Amino acid sequence: MSDTLAKLAGLLREKFDVEGDLRSDSTFEDIGLDSLDVINFLFAVEETMAVKVPDEDLVTHEIETLGRLAEYLDARRAA
Protein backbone atom coordinates (compact mmCIF):
# COMPACT_ATOMS: atom_id res chain seq x y z
CA MET A 1 0.00 0.00 0.00
CA SER A 2 1.42 3.38 -1.01
CA ASP A 3 1.92 6.11 1.58
CA THR A 4 -0.84 8.22 0.03
CA LEU A 5 -3.24 5.29 -0.10
CA ALA A 6 -2.48 4.53 3.56
CA LYS A 7 -3.22 8.16 4.48
CA LEU A 8 -6.54 8.02 2.61
CA ALA A 9 -7.47 4.78 4.36
CA GLY A 10 -6.57 6.28 7.74
CA LEU A 11 -8.67 9.35 7.02
CA LEU A 12 -11.65 7.19 6.08
CA ARG A 13 -11.31 5.15 9.25
CA GLU A 14 -10.83 8.19 11.48
CA LYS A 15 -13.44 10.59 10.12
CA PHE A 16 -15.98 8.28 8.50
CA ASP A 17 -15.81 5.18 10.73
CA VAL A 18 -15.06 2.98 7.72
CA GLU A 19 -14.03 -0.53 8.68
CA GLY A 20 -12.81 -3.52 6.78
CA ASP A 21 -10.26 -4.00 4.05
CA LEU A 22 -9.53 -0.85 2.04
CA ARG A 23 -7.72 -1.65 -1.19
CA SER A 24 -6.65 0.47 -4.12
CA ASP A 25 -9.53 -0.90 -6.20
CA SER A 26 -12.14 -0.11 -3.52
CA THR A 27 -14.75 2.24 -4.96
CA PHE A 28 -16.41 4.89 -2.83
CA GLU A 29 -19.63 2.91 -3.21
CA ASP A 30 -17.88 -0.29 -2.00
CA ILE A 31 -16.72 1.63 1.06
CA GLY A 32 -20.27 2.73 1.79
CA LEU A 33 -19.94 6.44 1.01
CA ASP A 34 -22.89 8.21 -0.56
CA SER A 35 -22.43 11.29 -2.74
CA LEU A 36 -22.48 13.69 0.22
CA ASP A 37 -19.95 11.52 2.08
CA VAL A 38 -17.65 11.59 -0.97
CA ILE A 39 -17.80 15.40 -1.04
CA ASN A 40 -17.04 15.59 2.69
CA PHE A 41 -14.23 13.07 2.25
CA LEU A 42 -12.69 15.18 -0.52
CA PHE A 43 -12.91 18.29 1.68
CA ALA A 44 -11.11 16.35 4.42
CA VAL A 45 -8.48 15.16 1.92
CA GLU A 46 -7.90 18.72 0.70
CA GLU A 47 -7.55 20.00 4.25
CA THR A 48 -5.37 17.16 5.52
CA MET A 49 -3.08 16.90 2.50
CA ALA A 50 -3.02 20.61 1.56
CA VAL A 51 -4.08 19.97 -2.04
CA LYS A 52 -7.01 21.23 -4.10
CA VAL A 53 -9.14 18.74 -6.05
CA PRO A 54 -11.26 20.64 -8.59
CA ASP A 55 -14.71 19.08 -9.08
CA GLU A 56 -14.18 18.64 -12.81
CA ASP A 57 -11.05 16.55 -12.13
CA LEU A 58 -13.19 13.90 -10.46
CA VAL A 59 -14.82 13.23 -13.82
CA THR A 60 -11.98 13.90 -16.24
CA HIS A 61 -9.53 11.76 -14.26
CA GLU A 62 -12.16 9.08 -13.55
CA ILE A 63 -11.49 9.15 -9.83
CA GLU A 64 -13.76 6.36 -8.66
CA THR A 65 -11.42 4.27 -6.50
CA LEU A 66 -9.03 4.93 -3.65
CA GLY A 67 -6.13 3.92 -5.87
CA ARG A 68 -7.07 6.43 -8.59
CA LEU A 69 -7.43 9.16 -5.96
CA ALA A 70 -4.01 8.30 -4.51
CA GLU A 71 -2.42 8.37 -8.00
CA TYR A 72 -4.10 11.71 -8.74
CA LEU A 73 -2.91 13.24 -5.46
CA ASP A 74 0.64 11.99 -6.02
CA ALA A 75 0.65 13.50 -9.52
CA ARG A 76 -0.72 16.85 -8.23
CA ARG A 77 1.99 17.08 -5.59
CA ALA A 78 4.72 16.17 -8.07
CA ALA A 79 3.64 18.86 -10.55
CATH assignment at residue 46? 1.10.1200.10
**What mean pLDDT do residues 45-73 have?**
90
Q: Which of 37, 29, 15, 32 is nearest to 64 (CA)?
A: 29
Convert the pLDDT of each residue in 9-53 to its tens digit.
Answer: 999 999 999 998 899 999 999 999 998 999 999 999 999 999 988
Number of domains in the chain: 1
pLDDT at 1 over 70: no
Tell me, what's the pLDDT at 31? 94
Task: List own/partner pairs for 71-76 with CB under 8 A and 24 or more apart.
Answer: 73/4, 73/8, 73/45, 73/49, 74/2, 74/4, 76/51
- What residue numbers bound the domain in which 65 lies? 3-78
Tell me, what's the pLDDT at 72? 94
Tell me, what's the pLDDT at 76? 87
Tell me, what's the pLDDT at 5? 96
